[in-house]
Structure 1
Amino acid sequence: MPKAKETVLEIDLGALTHNFNYLKSKLKPTTKFLAVVKAFAYGSDSIEIAKHLEHLNVDYFAVAYTKEGVVLRDAGIKTPILVLHPQPVNFNTIIERCLEPSLYNAKVLNAFIKIAEEQSQANYPVHIKFNTGLNRLGFWENDVDYVVSKLKTTKSIKVKSIFSHLAASEDKDEIEFTNKQIEFFKLISKAFENHIGSKPWLHLCNTSGVLNYSEAHFDMVRCGIGLYGFGNSAKENENLFPVASLKSVISQIHKIEKGETVGYNRAYKAKGFEKTATIPIGHADGISRIYGNENGYVKINGCKAPIIGNVCMDMIMVNISDINCKEGDEVILFDAANKASDLAESANTISYEIITSISQRVKRSIIK
């Protein structure tokens, strides 16, 4: 592969295919696969990712907000799209663009019914979310009767699925809690089905749920981080390929004497004669200030170069005193060999945060 000549995020669609097929291999043939492509497909490129997954016959997409779904529709995506956190102000747009809302409390349920009736909709597909322990969004168990009573007053909407979200499916210390969530979800779903007289799809599992709780796959699963190459465990990370690689170049090399300082607020002081390299990427590109002051690092010619001083808006400086390199050489922030999860751990954060933070001003390069 050609070396980077500027800051670029390379997106490997072959890795995406591998991850999709690996996760699907964990499912029964009848279990549907929903791909989560929110937040620019976890910081990559939602349009390219969605188009490729559509080509692979994915069953559903999910986005966080209405605008993200509109972007996919504008790009020609035809696959059903679930909007996980819709706001009532966007309900007209949701219907206009054939998006499907998650309805998670009385306010949004009533507001969507009102809009659907005003637009003379019939059996518009909606998804009812219940809270089983994450305590973020969702109706409570004792809301089942209320939800059903509202549904029986209108023909404008029809429940396509009932779903919830696992809170700690990757954590072996929380197996008991997760099992309680699964059983709670079963009870809620059964009560709902008994009241409404039909059987909507059920879905509960995220990536870690898919990998760790096969008994809870139900009718559909929702995979996000796993599609992009991370399985939330060292073992599963070996079975998945990171889709995104963030690369840059050395813009300039400096030689500094003992006691000289580097960057804003003179945050780094040279311990002796040292060489530093300046790289054109900064916190405006998604490399947070938490990676500064030797918390994070880059790879140059296979060697670790710690980030020194404070991360600037558009640049970082790294210590290359022991590295044989020159201006224009490629710099790896993360790739398949030097994973984003490793860089994230160096600053006590998670892979989700760094990959979803990559700014849209960083050039995307699609590898097909």
Structure 2
Amino acid sequence: MLRFEELAVITHGAILQYQQDYTVQHLLLDSRKLINPAGSVFFAIKGNFNDGHDYISNLYDRGVRQFVVEQTQDIPGVKHEASLTISFPEANFLRVSSSLQALHQVAAHHRQQYTLPVIAITGSNGKTIVKEWLAQLLNPDERIVKSPRSYNSQIGVPLSVWQLNQNHTLGIFEAGISHPGEMEKLAGIIQPTEGIFTNIGPAHAEGFESLEQKIVEKLKLFQHVDCLFYCRDQAPIHAAVRAAQIPAFTWSRQQQPADVQISPVGVQGDRFILHFEYQNTVATLVLPFTDEASVENCLHCLAVLLSRQVPVAEIQARFQKLAPVAMRLEMKEAINGCYLIDDTYNNDLGGLTIALDLLVNQTRTDAKTVIISDLLESGLPEDVLYARVAEFIRAHRIHRLIGIGPIISRHALKFAQNSQFYGTTAQFLQHFKPDTFQNETILVKGARVFEFEKIVAAFQRKIHGTVLEVNLDALVHNLNFYRAKLAPETRIMVMVKAFAYGSGSYEIANLLQFHRVDYLTVAYPDEGISLREHGITLPIMVMSPSPDSFTKLQQYQLEPEIYSLEILEACIRVLPANPDFRQNIHLKLDTGMHRLGFTETDLDELFSRLAATPQLKVVSIFSHLAGADEALYNDFSELQVSRFRSMAAKVERKVGYPVLKHILNSAGIVRFPEHQMDMVRLGIGLYGVEATGAEQDALCMVSRLTT
């Protein structure tokens, strides 16, 4: 267990204030994920959208006493080092040149304490699926620690490696990069002994000069491995591996020289059948998937199992039990006004904390219930493991816990008195009483062997024949895809109109609020009111306010889109007499689409009314590109942008203060990044539709109908 004083040695930092030698149990980067204040050290990282230094006072008030900072003047209210004792008398402070680099150094030091084999996975696609499937396939042989979900970034990797403890016998971590120079940092943290290079494609291509450069950068993860697994048919990868002289284990479907030869037989129903040859042994393998991507991912896993000399019969049996990774964190409507977060895929400690974070940030219902199985992959002693689970449940203020499995049942006394325990899923279903679940959000999280999909079916059975399932992971993936295209200072307004394009406005808005978007937009006032009533505090723009709705907009702090003089007058008529009152408004300008908005000829009258009404504050000016998704209209789009810039400049001069400007929609973000201005509006792209078609493969579909 690290102590605070050791952090200074590891990071080459300077201790600014030392009050007590606390131990370091948790690496905290997000103030919303605080579980154990006494054992947490907070790294104040400056990101593109947030500065961790802004949250130090809040965390101190909540019990955190260990902080890694870059500059004391970055902490609100602290002018110099001497004032730390006044503001934070019980805290330890360590100053470093980069909090992110310090996080990397601490994680790398932690990794160096263990000599277990570690498999690192990178590639353009399939990293998370290969990691999850490999963990399933090797679970009978190893006590595995792995990246939670898609924790493969400069922040996700150190948090993943921090999970390592003396009980683990194998680590499996994924690593993803977007720019040159990033992989060396991740390699130093993971320190892999083996590697898998899944494939190479266009994902994140904009960060590299060429495909060859991207491959070379990714291969830096494997410079010191004993063996690298990859498909011999991927010629660019093979050439780069040979040039780097990395020891390899390969497989091929095209009869290339390789360790494993694959001969596809074909699809039979929902199975894919193939023959493989390895070390003069020929065998048949039946895969429970038929799509090309899943077959490729399975073959990477097959290569690893063969290299480990797992018997062929055992390999065949294990592949039959593979579960689809897509069954992760799906939001579903359930009986009696309840909502399910369906995580019936696996149950590990890292994934549990992420799922609990999501659960408590769903504010549509007050009551929160967790149905959880035995945790089978932690590598921790039982007492330690379930004490930690109980701590997580308490810290997240879960109202009711239902534990299923013989192991968690043995530790019932560690949990609250109202908790319930069952030895098997069948026992729970035998005692299941639907009426005891009313208006609550329920996290269903279990290891695959417990067949929690039967529990999900019981909660859904009485709804209707067809269910809309929303994949929250996919939505966050899409949000981050568009965020990666923006300058650090560019804000994001997200459209949640029309029930979030059918995906569930409350749940989606909660998730977007958690991921710190800047604005939400709804079509009608009642949508905005409903979001406010369900705990959404983000600024909300209302696109279609009616003349009789402005009093309600004031009451719920909603911000109307003002697109005509008539709507402006309706807004002004109901303003309260209080001269200090301020109503935020958004002005829509017509630059050529001719679908509402002020034209050039309207501006003088608009300016006159604004000057006479100081209670109105123009917070943004925007317009809409008529053909952003089609190259055919590029010239017209540029003309619209030019008109908008000219009109917006006039508005800013008249109001006398800076105003947010935005013109790009989802398609515009992709095709016209040079016109990001102050903010962009993300709509249909968030839900998996890339209107230009150029980067559709980079997005994930968010919703699906199941019957």
What interval of TM-score do these two structures reach, taking the shorter chain for normalisation? 0.5 to 0.7
TM-score (norm 1): 0.65
Per the alignment, residue 211 of structure 1 pairs with 670
Whether contact under 8 Å (2:630, 2:692) holds in the other structure is no
Identity in percent: 41
Per the alignment, residue 467 of structure 2 pairs with 8
Per the alignment, residue 542 of structure 2 pairs with 83
Moved more, 233-242 or 97-106: 233-242
Q: Which amino acid aligns with 2:664?
A: C
User: Which of the residues 494, 499, 511 maps onto 1:35?
Assistant: 494
Per the alignment, residue 629 of structure 2 pairs with 170
What do the CA deviations read for 1:238-290 (whole angstroms, capped 9, x no partner)?
A: 11111001122xxxxxxxxxxxxxxxxxxxxxxxxxxxxxxxxxxxxxxxxxx
Whether contact under 8 Å (2:669, 2:680) holds in the other structure is yes
Deviation at 1:122, TM superposition (A): 2.3
Deviation at 1:197, TM superposition (A): 2.0
Deviation at 1:148, TM superposition (A): 1.1
Mark the CA change 1:223 to 1:31 in structure 2 (over 3 Å): closer, same or farther. same
Q: Which amino acid aligns with 1:164?
A: S
User: Which of the residues 591, 603, 607 maps onto 1:132?
Assistant: 591
* Alpha-carbon distance between aligned partners in 2 of 1:118 and 1:37, rounded to the nearest angstrom: 33
* Alpha-carbon distance between aligned partners in 1 of 2:600 and 2:695, rounded to the nearest angstrom: 33
Q: Which amino acid aligns with 2:673?
A: S
Deviation at 1:194, TM superposition (A): 2.2
Mark the CA change 1:157 to 1:230 in structure 2 (over 3 Å): closer, same or farther. same
Write 1 or 2 for the structure with the bigger share of helix: 2
Mark the CA change 1:233 to 1:155 in structure 2 (over 3 Å): closer, same or farther. closer
2:618 matches 1:159: yes
User: Which of the residues 180, 192, 201 maps onto 2:660?
Assistant: 201
Deviation at 1:119, TM superposition (A): 6.5
Per the alignment, residue 94 of structure 1 pairs with 553
* Alpha-carbon distance between aligned partners in 2 of 1:26 and 1:119, rounded to the nearest angstrom: 43
Q: Equivalent residues in 2 for 1:222-237 (5 A)? A: 222-237=681-696
In structure 1, runs of 5+ residues without a counterpart are 249-368
Q: Give the 4+ runs in structure 1 shifted more than 3 A.
A: 1-6, 117-121
TM-score (norm 2): 0.34
Mark the CA change 1:64 to 1:105 in structure 2 (over 3 Å): closer, same or farther. same
Deviation at 1:52, TM superposition (A): 0.5
Deviation at 1:118, TM superposition (A): 4.6
* Alpha-carbon distance between aligned partners in 2 of 1:223 and 1:118, rounded to the nearest angstrom: 36
Deviation at 1:120, TM superposition (A): 5.6
In structure 2, runs of 5+ residues without a counterpart are 1-326, 328-452
Mark the CA change 1:210 to 1:129 in structure 2 (over 3 Å): closer, same or farther. same
Whether contact under 8 Å (1:38, 1:62) holds in the other structure is yes
SS at match of 2:620: strand
What do the CA deviations read for 1:33-57 (whole angstroms, capped 9, x no partner)?
A: 0110000000110000000010001
* Alpha-carbon distance between aligned partners in 1 of 2:559 and 2:548, rounded to the nearest angstrom: 15
Per the alignment, residue 241 of structure 1 pairs with 700
Higher RCO (CA-CA < 8 Å; seq separation 6+): 1
* Alpha-carbon distance between aligned partners in 2 of 1:120 and 1:69, rounded to the nearest angstrom: 25
Q: Pairwise CA RMSD of aligned residues?
A: 1.5
* Alpha-carbon distance between aligned partners in 1 of 2:666 and 2:580, rounded to the nearest angstrom: 34
User: Which of the residues 609, 617, 621 maps onto 1:150?
Assistant: 609
SS at match of 1:160: strand
Per the alignment, residue 372 of structure 2 pairs with none
Per the alignment, residue 365 of structure 1 pairs with none
* Alpha-carbon distance between aligned partners in 1 of 2:485 and 2:537, rounded to the nearest angstrom: 26
Per the alignment, residue 61 of structure 1 pairs with 520
* Alpha-carbon distance between aligned partners in 2 of 1:125 and 1:118, rounded to the nearest angstrom: 16
* Alpha-carbon distance between aligned partners in 1 of 2:582 and 2:606, rounded to the nearest angstrom: 16
SS at match of 2:664: coil
2:680 matches 1:221: yes
Mark the CA change 1:215 to 1:151 in structure 2 (over 3 Å): closer, same or farther. same
Per the alignment, residue 171 of structure 2 pairs with none
* Alpha-carbon distance between aligned partners in 1 of 2:548 and 2:703, rounded to the nearest angstrom: 34
Q: Higher Cα Rg: structure 1 or 2?
A: 2
